[in-house]
Chain A
Amino acid sequence: MVRESMDVEEKAGSYLEVRGVGKTIGTTPVLGGVSFEVGRGECFCVLGENGSGKTTLLRIITGLVAPTEGMVLLEGISPHEDPVASLARMGALIGIPAFYPNISAYENLRLFWDGPLKAADTHIMNALSAVGLADEKKKKVGVFSRGMLQRLGIAHACMHQRPYIILDEPTQGVDEYWTAKMRDLFRDMINTGKAFIITSHDFEFVMNLCSHVLILAEGRPAYVGDLKAIAEYPYYFHLRCSPADKAETVFTQVDYIHKRIRSGDEFYLTLPDGRASELVKALVTAGCRVHECAKKHYSIADLIRQRSE
């Protein structure tokens, strides 16, 4: 469980609990045995390959889909028994953002505004500004690009400033600039006590934002816990040097290489970030020629595969 250290008082209220949730469609189980908790001020990410049940899980959390086993409790309220109370505590973006194409961005958000009418304009404009769509507020959504639509979906999820934000692949279709902006926005919101549950395929985005992770493999949890624990070395070094045998000898002599894979004169090495230059120096001293040395991040798929294996 993610929040084992949570004190008793906190456990009484401000967190989302997913307890043994599963879903079977027809006779096909698509999700099973999922349990975790997310408290205010935390960011929890759900990772998994396509079809692993990530979006189904978010749908169950938001009450769009009823679980066939287990339960979800949002601050003690079940989204399936009291959807009004639970949805009043969460903003969500599930799947591809869907808005009315014949209506402007502002009108769309206004249509979905559930708070006091007096505050609507301020909140909607703040949300649009945060995702860079303030200037496009009068444009009909039908002419929006995929990235703009995604940002509008995020604005929709965040405009009420609800304590729980559920986002299904929020950076899908969003360019790098706005991905970074989104990350900053979410981080600010987390710092003000909002809880985020995110699915994403953007590893860097997840690494810089989330503290805890659930990895799903074929609908079953492969790992639930601290993200940094599985991604202590979320990168590797790719080296191409010759002669390869001499280089391999050097690698066996140093004690800071955690993992080494050789493919001809190419090596894939896992080692602490600060030791890379030291290793290259050792190779050169030993008479090796280093043709290439590049630091590369593991993809989420790599991580999932590692955990699944």
Chain B
Amino acid sequence: MGYRRLLAGEILKLVKAPVFLVAPIVLAIYLGLMLFGFEMNAAKKGVAFSTAAPEQFTGSIVVSTYSSIKKMFQNIFGISRMSPALLETLKAKNQKPIEEQDLKSGEVPEYDYWRVFLKNLIHPGALPVPGGRDCSGKGAESHKENEAAPQRKVPGDGASLPGPRMGGEGLLSLLVGNAYAAENQGSGMSAAPAFTDEELFSDRIKKRLQWMMGTADLENALIDRSVFNGLRFTYLTVYFAFVFVFPLITVAVAAQVFASEIAHGTMRTCLLRPVRRVQILAAKFGVVLGYMFSLISCFTLLALLIGVLFTGYGNLMIDSDVIGNVGKVKMILGDGALILFFLSSAVIAFSLMPLAAFAVLLSFIKPEPAYVIGISSIVYFILYSLGGLDLFKDIRFLFFTTYMDGWTLLFETPMNVPLFAGKLMVVLLMIGGLVAAVNYLFVRRDIYT
């Protein structure tokens, strides 16, 4: 009997198993929580990252949810301000400086970088304010970089503005600060949360910002929606899913495929077929890997879809510190990020296989799904947490979790190929070792249940 038929059988079994539906539901809930998490985060700061109209920024989650849905439908039906045509207009407008006299006119052109500016306010800690307090927590470093950049005079208050070499949130926040300071005739703002809605969305500040951006000769990276867009949302969502959700699902699927089958006696029925046990093992591992890859790919695609619908499309900007969202901008990717997301799905699924093999190993020690899921998850989270502590930096190479995050290297520019290949190689070796151990136990094991 062919391996393909075995694999098809395993797929059918998994499709009919509860975990097949439960896993996507868990991921959907997680995605929803991420979405609302960002919304709440934004709401606390007086903005909603996916809201189109300033007058809806009430800080209410309900309102922001409503406006998110509204915005989503606007995007679906092509009436978004993030439409390609508008983006082209934005680009064109940016290249054409706004004249100072425009500031006195009553019309406020709705450029999309205004929207970018609002996004940026989600992370006000990134403000390296000249003459004011640095909220980034990386003050010295930020100031050093700012000071190193060519300084230019900004009309209004004379505050300095870093040159175009900087990009991303820090610079945009700086622009906001300068715009605020210029309009209020001050020497610079103290902190972003000090803004009131009224101040933030006053036409004067809006116009000042537009003027500043229009005359700053900024790089495209700044104005082409790179601050917080669908790609960034997807990256963060996948990152946290990789840490918290994918491992749980992996051990649940592995437990379903092995421990559950042993516990319910169906493994015995499988072993009465004229196939080698190693073939059964390979088919089961194959289905775990295939399922995880499919699940992660679909999840990434869904996150991209939702992210782009809610927050627009653009470059993927990744901070050096993913969680903090502050500091030096490490990389900015263009459309190539899409293919990287697909590749990362495969790498993540592959990197999770040592965990699956570990769960399978436990399945032979005690074939109870709850036990396998519990112990595997606890071991994973302990090792993952300890691996992040400096105290264990000398021995973290022993933790299998250390080598599982190789996928993040895909997003680095330039990519650290030796490190990436090295991590994958270690993962491969771990999988090989664990599968060999599982195979040894499985082939020799007496089946009584």
Q: Give the B-binding residues of A (Cβ under 8 A).
A: 59, 62-66, 83-88, 92, 94-100, 102-103, 107, 111-112, 114, 156
Contact = CB atoms under 8 A, between A and B. Distances in A.
A58 to B, nearest CB: 11
Contact of B274 (A84, A102, A103): A84
B12 A107 contact: yes
Given A111-B12, A114-B1, A100 B444 contact: no
A59 B445 CA distance: 12
Contacts of A103: 12-13, 16
A114 B274 contact: yes
Contact of B444 (A59, A66, A94): A66
Sorted nearest first, the 9 A-B pairs with minimum C-beta distance are A98-B265, A88-B274, A87-B274, A65-B446, A64-B447, A102-B16, A98-B266, A84-B274, A114-B1
Nearest to B12: A111
Contacts, number: 64
Interface string B271-288: 111111100000000000
A185 to B, nearest CB: 20
Contacts of B448: 59, 64-65
B272 A92 contact: yes
21 contacts: A59-B447, A64-B446, A65-B446, A65-B447, A66-B446, A83-B276, A84-B274, A87-B272, A87-B273, A87-B275, A95-B268, A96-B265, A98-B265, A98-B266, A98-B269, A99-B269, A100-B16, A100-B266, A103-B16, A107-B12, A111-B13
Contacts of A96: 265
Nearest to A103: B16
Contacts of B446: 59, 64-66
B131 interface: no
Contact of A98 (B12, B17, B268, B273): B268
A114 B273 CA distance: 7
A112 B269 contact: yes
- Name the residue among A100, A111, A112 with the largest chain B CB count within 10 angstroms: A111
Interface in B243-276: 264-266, 268-276
A102 to B, nearest CB: 4
A144 B18 CA distance: 19
Q: Is the interface of B mostly helix, strand, loop or mixed?
A: helix
Interface of B: 1, 9, 12-13, 16-18, 264-266, 268-277, 444, 446-448
Contacts of A59: 446-448
B7 to A, nearest CB: 12
A65 B3 CA distance: 24
A36 to B, nearest CB: 21
Contacts of B1: 114
Contacts of B268: 64, 94-95, 98
A99 B267 CA distance: 9
Contacts of B269: 97-99, 112, 156
Nearest to A88: B274
A100 B447 contact: no
A82 to B, nearest CB: 10
A85 B274 contact: yes
Nearest to B9: A111
B273 A112 contact: yes
Nearest to B269: A98
Nearest to A55: B448
B434 to A, nearest CB: 23
Contact of B265 (A66, A84, A95, A111): A95
A223 B355 CA distance: 51
Contacts of A94: 268, 272
Contacts of A95: 265, 268
Nearest to A160: B274
A62 B16 CA distance: 28
- Name the residue among B17, B272, B275 with the largest chain A CB count within 10 angstroms: B272
Contacts of B17: 102
B276 A84 contact: yes
B274 A99 contact: no
Nearest to A62: B272
B174 to A, nearest CB: 58
Contacts of B274: 83-88, 114
Nearest to B8: A111
Nearest to B446: A65
Nearest to A56: B448
A66 B443 CA distance: 10
A96 B264 CA distance: 10
Contacts of A111: 9, 12-13
Contacts of B265: 95-96, 98
A163 B9 CA distance: 25
A64 B273 contact: no
Contacts of B264: 98
